[in-house]
């Protein structure tokens, strides 16, 4: 089952980015991000459709984004600020996707994935990341159904 197409996902990401960060976002090319340079967050959806939404982006971007969210200088941003920012962005994207599903579903709390679980999410067979850029930085989102025939990236 295809949850969204790329254009629908792009619209969701644009709204979330403008609402939370007041930054434009554009569809981008796949860019290799060093695993030590990015954070990945995930939120699960259960119910009529079951799966998860993953968002990964660079620590550098999250420093700038957290600076906007918490109205702090970049030098004041700590790891927890980055974590709070990436999990909230993931939560907002996941909540919007959940609201578009045809039947009742529940949304979990967003979590930061460990390096091991983020690598597993990135390497899952059939998982396609949709790539974007914002403020000169790469980010990627994947929508993953729990069964093999439901794994889609937008």
Asked whether residue 85 is domain-assigned, the answer is yes
Query: Is 0.85 topped by the overall pTM?
Result: yes
- Could you tell me the CA-to-CA distances from 64 to 19, 22, 90, 103, 134 in Å, in that order? 15, 12, 17, 37, 11
Asked whether residue 132 is domain-assigned, the answer is yes
Asked whether residue 140 is domain-assigned, the answer is yes
Give residue 14's domain range.
6-150
Encode pLDDT of 107-117 as tens digits.
Answer: 999 999 986 56
Over 90: is that where the pLDDT of 146 sits? no
Across residues 31-51, what is the average pLDDT? 87
Model confidence at 33, pLDDT cuts 50, 70, 90, reads low
Q: Are 144 and 9 in contact (CB under 8 A)?
A: no
Asked whether residue 13 is domain-assigned, the answer is yes
Asked whether residue 1 is domain-assigned, the answer is no
Asked whether residue 59 is domain-assigned, the answer is yes
Read off the tokens for 44: 């699960």
Asked whether residue 61 is domain-assigned, the answer is yes
Asked whether residue 110 is domain-assigned, the answer is yes
Encode pLDDT of 133-143 as tens digits.
Answer: 999 999 999 99
- The domain tally of the chain equals 1
Query: 79: number of CA atoms within 13 Å, CB side?
Result: 4
Question: Domain of 45: which CATH number?
Answer: 3.40.1550.10
């Amino acid at each position: 089952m295809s949850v969204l197409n790329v254009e629908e996902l792009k619209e969701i990401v644009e709204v979330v980015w403008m609402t939370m960060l007041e930054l434009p976002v554009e569809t981008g090319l796949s860019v290799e991000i060093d695993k030590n340079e990015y954070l990945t967050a995930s939120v699960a959806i259960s119910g009529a459709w079951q799966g998860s939404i993953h968002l990964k982006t660079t620590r550098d971007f999250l420093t700038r984004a957290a600076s906007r969210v918490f109205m702090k200088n970049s030098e004041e941003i700590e790891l927890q600020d980055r974590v709070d920012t990436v999990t909230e962005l993931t939560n907002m994207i996941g909540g919007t996707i959940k609201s578009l599903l045809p039947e009742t579903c529940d949304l979990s709390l967003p979590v930061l994935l460990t390096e091991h679980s983020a690598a597993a999410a990135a390497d899952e067979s059939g998982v396609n990341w949709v790539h974007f850029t914002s403020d000169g930085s790469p980010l990627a989102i994947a929508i993953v159904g729990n069964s093999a025939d439901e794994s889609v990236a937008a």
